[in-house]
Amino acid sequence: MIPLHADNKTRMMMSAAELIALRTRTLIERRMGGLPDPGAGQSEEELACNVTDSEFDQRLAGLEGRAWARLVKLFALSPVEADLLQLAVAVAVEPALGPLIARAQGAEGRFLPTEPLVKRLHGHPGRPIWRPTSALSMWRLVISTRYGPGEPAGFEADPRIVDWLFGTLALDATLLLAIDAARQDPLPPEWPVQETAERLDHALKSGTEVRLVVRGRAGTGRRAFAAAIARSLGRDALVVDPAMIPISDWIDSYIRVQRFALYADVALVWREGGSIWPAKIPMAPIQIVCSDEVLPPVRDGAADLEIVLPEPGLAAKAGIWSALVPALAAHSMQLAAIPGLSLGDLKEVGRAAPRTLAEAAAHLRVKGRARMREVGQVIDPRFDWNDLILPSDLVVQLRRITFEARTRPTLMENPETARLFEGAAGLSALFAGPPGVGKSMAAQVIAQDLGVNLLVIDLAVTTSKFIGETAKNLSNAFAKARAAGAALIFEEADAFFARRTDVKDSNDRHANADTNHLLQLLETHDGLVILSTNRRSNIDPAFIRRLRHVVEFPKPGPGERRYLWKTMLAALGIDPTALLATLDSLANSYDLSPAQIKSAALSARYAALETGSTVTAAGLEAAAGAELTKEGRSVPVSAHSPRRQRSMLHG
């Protein structure tokens, strides 16, 4: 900030605003012949103020007028513009000057200075002073007011300009919600702060209008990086949020933002959004624009220096977490390994003061789910490895996928590894098998083990008949999952990957383009992506070869079905030991999937509750038969079925 009152020890020291008001009063009274001669009866202050115009000019050029001299220089005011501004400032500082100005203009009630008055007092020629292209107008230093038809306009000083001349750096009221001071946050050591600052400084010294565009996903710390750049260049930084500026006020607010930054000598850090930057308004020297995938607002004539902000490594995240939450420093590496974790996430979780790692992880998942609204179904996984009833070799394969997902960020931190395996190390898996065998549950178990949300996308729904919409939907899903650190599962994958066809018309061409786009997203995504299908045979083998893992989910055998029946009944509060013989029969005779067994157990429980009885063998067999009937399959004849009992009676 500007030390406008560097030395205020002397009693007669004035602010620039007060000095301008005194100078104006003296000037008008002299021109009107009403200034009293110095002599007896005047106070020491009044005697001190009886100075010549040249003496006032000297004082304005000295320490007292430092704020004024800065204003004139920064906004390139001509002598006649400076004189008009002084008159307007004087009236704002000393409203009692209004009647004196009205008398000087020969118009009662005209308390604001006009161009004719400025020219008469200072002897300026008759050329117009106020023009739309003048600095006074473009920088909103004074406001023009019309008295009436045929009368000259009056001029009122902008209140913020008056504040500055008093030595107070104040923002316009309309900008208070849109501007905030940048915070000094912990920074990852790998960020190229000094290198970027030197690059920007070199461009600025060449005389070119330059903006530094910092790219990165939301929460990566772009504003913290920008503030660090500003500090390296010896400036404080103000963060501007264009979303808080009504579009109808954009031009005026943009001008006032740049005006303040010029006078206060601060750097501006712009959040995403906003309209076109008007090229005719000069920019304050340091402009840093935060951007993601969207291009920043256009500024004709300005050169954009771009930097993609590197994601902090695990060690950097762990160090920042330890600084934010020392009580959980022992878990810093575990937290840092959570996929998609950004610096913004770390800070927000730190502010919530979690007591345990589990609380911190849960907070992150809640935040992640909010980011993925309207993209697909977002699941906070609740299943764990104990809930999976699958062959042991299949469980080993699923655990290997989980290990890769957890270890991949550390492995890819090595630049040479990342360079050689770029596009080839995406973690993708195909879960294939008939409906209800546990594909979705397995995806939830992996997500739960990783401590992340699961974003479920139905590819059959994502596909659009409109050209370009499918690719847009897919890109959006991957971007949201990446930002939230979520695992992705695409259901009905065969509906998409079986679509590659010989190109016969434009529809075929666009279908193939969408498929290629999804493959590119799969190979470049840095998180876990699962494709689920009930019909693997419908998928082109060429696509399957490009996936990292393929997991076949078989239907359960009698042993797995028996265990599933026991587990589901126990979960419903039913003691399965009294029904073991029935469970053996159900497991051997009813070829049901895990999902069907779960549904049948629930149906049997509801039926028992409805009649006020306990779950019986007949009730279980009826529920199991109903599941087969849904698929159009025949129901086995058992000792408890009505058909079997009738045949025994008539045998």
Q: What is the mean pLDDT of residues 37-44?
A: 43
**354 shares its domain with 397:** no
Residue 43, pLDDT > 50, answer no
Query: Nearest-CA neighbor of 287 among 192, 177, 217, 203?
Result: 203
Task: Provide the pLDDT confidence category of residue 464 given band limits of 50, 70 and 90.
Answer: low
Residue 509, pLDDT > 70, answer no
Is there a domain that residue 639 lies in? Answer: yes
Is there a domain that residue 7 lies in? Answer: no
**384 shares its domain with 367:** no
At 268-289, the pLDDT tens digits run 999 998 899 999 999 999 999 9
Residue 446, pLDDT > 90, answer yes
**400 shares its domain with 505:** yes
The most confident of the ranges 261-275, 402-416, 471-485, 513-527 is 261-275
Beta strands in 224-338 (DSSP E): 237-240, 267-270, 287-291, 303-308
Rounded Cα–Cα distance for residues 571 and 569 (Å): 5
**95 shares its domain with 189:** no
Residue 581, pLDDT > 50, answer yes
pLDDT of residue 3: 35
**204 shares its domain with 151:** no
- The fraction of the chain above a pLDDT of 70, given in percent, is 88
Is there a domain that residue 509 lies in? Answer: yes
Q: What is the mean pLDDT of residues 522-545?
A: 85
pLDDT of residue 503: 44
Query: Nearest-CA neighbor of 237 among 269, 214, 270, 285?
Result: 269
Is there a domain that residue 227 lies in? Answer: yes
The one-letter amino acid at 543? F
The count of structural domains within the chain is 5
Residue 159 phi, psi (nearest 5)? -55, -35
Task: Provide the pLDDT confidence category of residue 290 given band limits of 50, 70 and 90.
Answer: very high
**42 shares its domain with 95:** yes
The per-residue b/e assignment along 122-155, b for 16 or more CB within 10 angstroms, e otherwise, is: bebeeeebbeeebbbebbebbbeeeeeeeebebb
633 vs 257 pLDDT, higher one: 257
Is there a domain that residue 4 lies in? Answer: no
**425 shares its domain with 456:** yes
Of 123, 149, 166, the position where a domain reaches its end is 166
Q: What is the mean pLDDT of residues 401-429?
A: 80
**487 shares its domain with 625:** no
**25 shares its domain with 127:** yes
pLDDT of residue 606: 92
The one-letter amino acid at 94? E
Q: Mean pLDDT for the chain?
A: 84
**270 shares its domain with 400:** no
Is there a domain that residue 343 lies in? Answer: yes
Is there a domain that residue 6 lies in? Answer: no
pTM across the whole model: 0.74
- The fraction of the chain above a pLDDT of 90, given in percent, is 37
Is there a domain that residue 11 lies in? Answer: no
**Helix, strand, coil percentages for the chain (3-state, nearest 5):** 50, 10, 40
pLDDT of residue 560: 87
Rounded Cα–Cα distance for residues 195 and 204 (Å): 14
The alpha carbon torsion through 522, 525, 527, 530 (nearest 10 deg) reads -10
Which domain range does residue 565 map to?
558-649
**Range of weakest confidence among 156-160, 197-201, 323-327, 644-648:** 644-648
Question: Tell me, what CATH number does 465's domain have?
Answer: 3.40.50.300
Of 151, 166, 181, the position where a domain reaches its end is 166
Question: Tell me, what CATH number does 286's domain have?
Answer: 3.40.50
Residue 255, pLDDT > 90, answer yes
**540 shares its domain with 411:** yes
Of 166, 181, 205, the position where a domain reaches its end is 166
Q: What is the mean pLDDT of residues 352-380?
A: 83
**416 shares its domain with 547:** yes
Q: What is the mean pLDDT of residues 496-511?
A: 54
